Every structure is written in C-alpha cells, then in structure tokens.
Amino acid sequence: MFEATTATKPHVLFVDDEPRILTSMRMLFRSKYQVTTATSAQEAIELLKAQPVEVIVSDQRMPNMTGIEFLREARDIAPNAMRILLTGYSDLNAIIGSINEGEIFRFVNKPWVNEELGRTLDRAIVAARESANASADDAPPLAADAQAPAVLVLDEDPQTLPQVRAILGDAFRTFGATSLDEAITLMEREHIGVVMSETRVQGHPVVGVISLLKQHQPELISVIVTERADAGTAIDLINQGQIYRLITKPIHDSQCRIAIGSALRQHHKLAQNPELHKRYEVAAPPEDAATPALPKTATSLLDRIRGLRALFKRSG
C-alpha cells in the first residue's frame, strides 16, 4: 500500500515476507519517501509491472523466490531502479549471485543501522534520478585494435594470464601484472577498460585499490577471479568496490568470455554516459574499518591513481 502520495517524493519498494520488517521500514521512511511494500516476490513483481519505482530493497530469504531471484527479474522489468539486498545471514552463493545476476547497488546486513540505511537510500535515489535518461546504447564494437580498451589481469599466479589470453584469443587486448605497481604502470600507458583481479595481491586485499580506482575512474570495470572467495570479502567488494562480476577458479572458458565481453560493453556505456556513474558509486568504508592495506609505496600509488583520470581524459 502507498504511505505517501506526494508526486515529488522518491518511490521506494520494500520487499520482505516478515510484516514487522515492512512496518519498521514504513515507519522509518514514509515521511521522506513514497513507500510501497510487498510481502512476497511475486506481489512485488506485479507492483513493478504496474508502477515506476526508483529503489527496490529486498530481503534475501523469502519463500518461493529468493531475493536474488527476485532482483534478477526486477532488473528486467525495471532496469533503471536501483537494487539493494537486505539479509541477516552471509550465504556466499547468494552474495555471488547478487553480483553476477542482480547487479545490486548495496548489500545491507540485518540488523541495519537506520541512519546508514537512510544514507544508502538517498544515494540510490540520486543515482536512479541522474541515470534515468541515459542512453541505452551499450554495444560498442569489440575490436582488438590499438585504440580499443584493454583487459588487465592482476594476479600473482603465473598461470592466470596465459589462461585468460587463451580464452579471449585475439578478440581483446590483454595485459598482465603481478603487483599493484605494475598494474598502475600499465594503466598509465594503456587504455584499460576492465581489471580482472584476485582478491589479494602481494598479501594485501585489493578492495581498497579497486575502490580508489573506481572513485577516480568511474568507467573502469572490475571483475574478480579468485579461488578464495568468502562472504565478508565479497560484501566489501560489492559495497566498496562496485565489482561487476565475481568468478571462482578454476576459470571456465565460456563464463570468462561472456563476463569480459559484458564488462567491456559496460565500460563503454559508462564512458559514453557519465550520468550513469552514480549508479556505481562506491561506499565509504565503515568508520571502524582500518585504512585499506597497501604496500609501502602506498603514497606513490595513491598519487598515481589520482592522476589516471587526467591521463584517461587526455588519451580520450
């Protein structure tokens, strides 16, 4: 049911099979947003078909259809709506599904903090409104010429780069780096559209670097390829890194080829439509979180990452 009818209020749909959760959401946000609630995924799907919504907040554990399955359908019905997944447990497969299938904006743990959830909703609404009129053209030519955006594989495993090159063949330009310093050097020299990375490089989590890269080069797309995925890391990579896909090793040829082709098209779309950047804005790390771990050359790396935007503009 609608709890507000003011036309200018942002429209948010909350989906949860627990009525008390929906009551809490309604009480928290009805003064600020136009609130619609649904107690099942199927009810929410019918609502989406009938009316525009700017933000969808869905629980994961629901009968008949999980939150991930619902958000996948919601993406097809209302592609411009921002998607937020709310859950009280850390199921790795569900989290990976939220990246690869639901393309969610944020992953929010229960019990949520009201102020933090409110800030997340505000950012999601800004993103939905700014990106509403973006171009639908997302199919650039994927040629491997010198001007085409390239793929950077960041992994200390010496087998990963040749394997990816063998999978992608001549369709894409592909470079490799085994350290963060090498990766930034390549990005200073080449037009990199997609970074494929392990979750840790040189003993350091890559989420901090991916977050910084995304802040300074919003059209850069990140794909994680890992054999050591865990729920906590995956959540951080969604919220703080806005990664586009997560692939677990061993790498499968078709999965990798499809993911990279899609990621390069996404890079092109974001490069051509700056109004979409808010849709993939990274979250600040939690206040009690440590500063992202970087090697001893951190200051130099940070300065070089900040300079990539200027290099990209000049090369463009």
Q: What is the model's pLDDT at position 5?
A: 43
- Are 210 and 284 members of one domain? yes
CATH number of the domain that residue 96 is part of: 3.40.50.2300
Q: In this predicted model, what pLDDT tens digit does every residue of 52-64 receive, in sequence order?
A: 999 999 999 899 9
Q: What is the model's pLDDT at position 111?
A: 87
- Are 184 and 224 members of one domain? yes
Looking at 130, 162, 192, the residue that finishes a domain is 130
DSSP-derived letter for residue 98 is: I
- Are 229 and 114 members of one domain? no
- Are 157 and 282 members of one domain? yes
Q: Which residues in 202-239 are b (16+ Cβ under 10 Å) and which e?
A: eeebbbbbbbbbbbbbbbbbbbbbbeebebebbbbbbb
Give the residue, 292 or 173, on which the prediction is more confident: 173
Looking at 97, 130, 163, the residue that finishes a domain is 130
Give domain status of residue 63, yes or no. Answer: yes
- Are 159 and 123 members of one domain? no
Q: What is the model's pLDDT at position 2?
A: 34
Q: What is the model's pLDDT at position 137?
A: 54
Looking at 101, 130, 159, the residue that finishes a domain is 130
Q: What percent of the chain has pLDDT over 70?
A: 86
Q: In this predicted model, what pLDDT tens digit does every residue of 216-258 receive, in sequence order?
A: 899 999 999 998 878 888 889 999 999 999 999 999 999 999 9
Q: What is the model's pLDDT at position 78?
A: 93
Q: What is the model's pLDDT at position 100?
A: 85
**Distance (Å, rounded) from C-alpha 83 to C-alpha 102?**
8
**Distance (Å, rounded) from C-alpha 22 to C-alpha 15?**
7
- Are 241 and 303 members of one domain? yes
**Distance (Å, rounded) from C-alpha 117 to C-alpha 115?**
6
Q: How many domains does the chain have?
A: 2
Q: What is the model's pLDDT at position 300?
A: 72
* Distance linking the first and last C-alpha atoms of the chain: 49
- Are 183 and 285 members of one domain? yes
- Residue 142 pLDDT class (50, 70, 90 cuts): low
CB 152 within 8 Å of CB 186: yes
Q: What is the model's pLDDT at position 96?
A: 85
Give domain status of residue 142, yes or no. Answer: no
- Are 78 and 201 members of one domain? no
- Are 122 and 154 members of one domain? no
Helix intervals (H) in 148-292? 160-168, 180-189, 207-216, 231-239, 253-272
Give domain status of residue 140, yes or no. Answer: no
Average pLDDT estimate for 42-61: 95
Helix intervals (H) in 41-133? 41-50, 67-77, 92-97, 114-130
- Are 286 and 177 members of one domain? yes
Beta bridge partners of 134: none
Q: What percent of the chain has pLDDT over 90?
A: 63
List the domain range (segments joined by +) for residue 231: 150-315
Give the residue, 175 or 102, on which the prediction is more confident: 175
- Are 162 and 311 members of one domain? yes
Give domain status of residue 190, yes or no. Answer: yes
Give domain status of residue 225, yes or no. Answer: yes
Give domain status of residue 18, yes or no. Answer: yes
Confidence check: pLDDT of 69 > 50: yes
- Are 248 and 219 members of one domain? yes
Q: In this predicted model, what pLDDT tens digit does every residue of 179-193 receive, in sequence order?
A: 999 999 999 999 999
